[in-house]
Amino acid sequence: MKHLFAAPATVLAVASPAFAEALEGKPTSAEILKSAAPSDWRALEPEETLYMELERGRVVVALSTQLAKRHVAQIKKLAREGFYDGLSFYRVIDGFVAQGGDVLEKRNAKTAARRLKAEFDEPAKKIAFSPIADADGYAAQVGFVDSLPAGVDAEGDRIWHLHCVGAMAMARGNETDSAGTEFYIALQPQRYLDRNLTVFGRVVDGMEHLQALRRVAPAQSEEDDLGETILSVSVGADLPEEKQLKLAILRSGTETFDDYVEARRNRSEGFFYHRPDYVDICQLPIPVRAIREDQE
């Protein structure tokens, strides 16, 4: 796929009445999704999907397929050796992140690396990137890599995943290459963390369970509040088929995806009187749907 790095669009402060009239009758985002062809959807591969069972319910994470490959491999190794089973979300800060893992540092990874080389950003040359035209305060260009939000620098040389809601990343110490086992999930956009930590996936189902986690600070001993328990973390491919949740995500880089973004940028519904001709990439929910048997 050809890489497109367009100049950011100028944001209109106020949409004119003529502009609003031109939107009347255009399909809404819901109508666009309803009429989307099967080819507009990409089934999430079980090998690239993470299942997290919590006391509150199940959380499903779509792992990055092109970026942060070392971190994706690491989280799958940790899941497969049962590293997280029985641990907890030990640091949950309102409006920030939910961090999970081994707060008391009592477990040793068996097959996974103790430390990872950072993948804060990567060469953009071979990455299929689908840009959107809207300006962004943290990246020269933003768009999507396999339907996960991403940013690109001004030269078009470096690319990275964004800290939007549901972004899953590896925590680290002050040293760049100190990530290993501890992860966090963004409860609200944390874009200032972009290119400072490695994002390797995004929650596509069950975000409500993470938002509802008990707020807690890291424990200093077993007598302290350890937070809510992580019952298990598994790679989707390792689960029995009947326990796999078959999901499909709207495929970026298609005409339908572009139409969907435009419908969110300029709402055609009569409810809206102010239309700024702009969309914030972290306020652009990427549709995910369950696959019915007749859609397989």
Kindly state the tokens that stand for 79.
Answer: 């899941």
pLDDT in tens, 249-272: 999 999 999 999 999 999 988 888
Maximum Cα–Cα distance for the chain, whole Å? 65
Cα dist from 235 to 26, 52, 79, 239, whole Å: 41, 9, 7, 7
- pLDDT for 26: 87
Kindly state the tokens that stand for 139.
Answer: 């990246």
Vertex 265, ends 261 and 266: CA angle to 5°? 120
Domain-by-domain residue ranges, the chain? 17-291
| Mean pLDDT along residues 92-101 | 98
Classified as helix, coil or strand, 184 is strand
Vertex 64, ends 295 and 85: CA angle to 5°? 95
User: Which CATH number is associated with domain 17-291?
Assistant: 2.40.100.10
Rounded (10°) CA dihedral 207, 124, 157, 254: -70
pLDDT in tens, 228-249: 999 999 999 999 999 999 999 9
- pLDDT for 16: 55
